[in-house]
Structures are given as structure tokens and as C-alpha cells.
Amino acid sequence: MYHLIATDLDGTLLLPDDRIGDYSHGVLQRLLEAGKHLVIATGRSQPDVEAILRPYNLQVHLITANGARISSACKTFDTSEHLPAQVARTLLDASRHVPGLVTNLYCQSRWFTNADSQQLEKFKQNPGFAPTVLEIDEFPSKAVEKIFFIHKDRDHEALAVLEEQLKARLGDQVHSTFSSPWCLEMMAASVSKGSALKKLADFLQVPLSQCIAFGDGMNDVEMLSSIGKGLVMGTAHAKVFQALPGHETLGSCSEESVARYLAANLLTA
């Protein structure tokens, strides 16, 4: 039986308009009442997630910034792991002249970006977590949870080339992943949703074999492959399916497929 349930947000638990559906909310509440631990594991920053969850009053654990920050529901376990300052500055300097990039950074609960006004309109705007627009030279380099690059033209191959260039320069000082095909993310070397979930499970004294998780991005692969059962959304990118052959597949977030699976398999009499 699974006692620790982890789910990604975008493309997984959230509806396309950034809400938790009424059906999903009801199922999650019933799981909590049944004594299950719920974990939101996302690339988003913690204040962004907290603003999304505020209307629902769900006592959940948070893994944010792809695992750079972990916060238990009771707040007695709250830890962060940052990119070394020199590594952060190297990432910013090495990418500043790459065409088509929007550079973003999470630091001390703030979001910094060099996006122009047109690009800002395309971002999902959460009133509780607005970005600060700066030139790259003005970006902070200390206490950085992650740096992520969005391609204006959604050119995955261009980002894949950038990933190889940055990894060749920094080696094992960084961990890279894609939260979507056009969003390349860089964190400290030991940071991932999978490693964060293990730390949280150890704190909660729940074996990883009793964990179940849901996701749709390459940043979910470590988490989905390191636990008792990992399920992939049917709308995931082809590279996710290639990385997780044989994993069970669900429907889409718009169908509230995560909640429907949990209700059918964890809430049955």
C-alpha cells in the first residue's frame, strides 16, 4: 500500500487554467483524512505554489524548484540547496549572448527574469508571485535555487545544444533537466525531485517502496524511477516515455486523471 503520494503540478495535477479541479480537491482531502502524506513536487518556486494552494486548505508537503527546496507540511523540516555563487555566475555569463533565450532565476523566494514586455505577457501570471525584470548583469548569484532558460521560439534542439555546452563547461557541478521541451533548468549537482523525495520520505519515515508519484516532464524522471510506483501522464513528451519504458500511463490533467487513479486505487473500501 502507498502512504506517500507525490505529484507534479503543471500538466499533471493542475487544470490548464492553473486550478485544482473540484473532483481532485475532494479526492486529495479524502486521502489526507485517511492518513496519507501528500507531496507537491514541482519546478515552480515555493511562494508560487503556496499562492496556488491557498484557496484549497490542503496540508501538503512541498518540493519546489525541482528539489532545491523541501518544506514539510508541519514546517519542522525546511531545507534548501543552492547553486554555488560562482557556478551561477558562470551559467549566466555563458548564456547571455545565446539568441532566442529568456533567462530566469529563483533566489530567496523571488523570481528574476530578463524577459521583455511581450514575453512577460506569455508567462503564466500568478498575482502572488510576479517576476522582477533585470538585466543579466544585475541578477543575483548567491542563494540561487535554480536558473532556467526559456526559448522564445520553443526550439528544443537549440536548448539541447546549450545544455551540452553548459555541462561541458561546468561538468558535475550542475544538474540539468527539462521541465518542458522549451525550458532548460539548472540546479546544484545533487538536486532533483527524486533526491528531494528521498530526503522527505526519510524524514517522514516512509520507505520509498511505499511511495507513488505522477509526472509528465523530464524533471520528473528521477522521482518516477526511484519509488514504489511512478506513473506518466499520457500527454508527456516522447523523451519522458523513452526514459521510463514500461511505466504505466494515465490520461491528461484536463481529465483530472491523477485524482481518478488515486480514487480508484487508494480510496477503495
Catalytic residues: 8
Question: Please, what's the largest Cα pairwise distance for the chain?
Answer: 58
Neighbours of 202 (CB within 10 A): 12
- For 91-130, give one letter per residue: b (16+ CB within 10 A) or e: bbeebeebeebbbbbbbeeebbbbbeeeeeeeeeebeebe
Residue 120 near residue 224, CB atoms below 8 Å: no
Q: Residue holding cell 530578463?
A: 114
Q: Hunting for cell 526559456 — which residue is that?
A: 150
DSSP helix/strand/coil, 79: strand
Backbone phi, then psi, for 100, in 5-degree steps?
85, 5
Amino acid at 140: P
**9: phi then psi, degrees, rounded to nearest 5:** -100, -75
Distance of alpha carbon 140 from alpha carbon 56, whole angstroms: 33
Residue with cell 480514487: 263
* Helix, strand or coil, per DSSP, at residue 180: strand
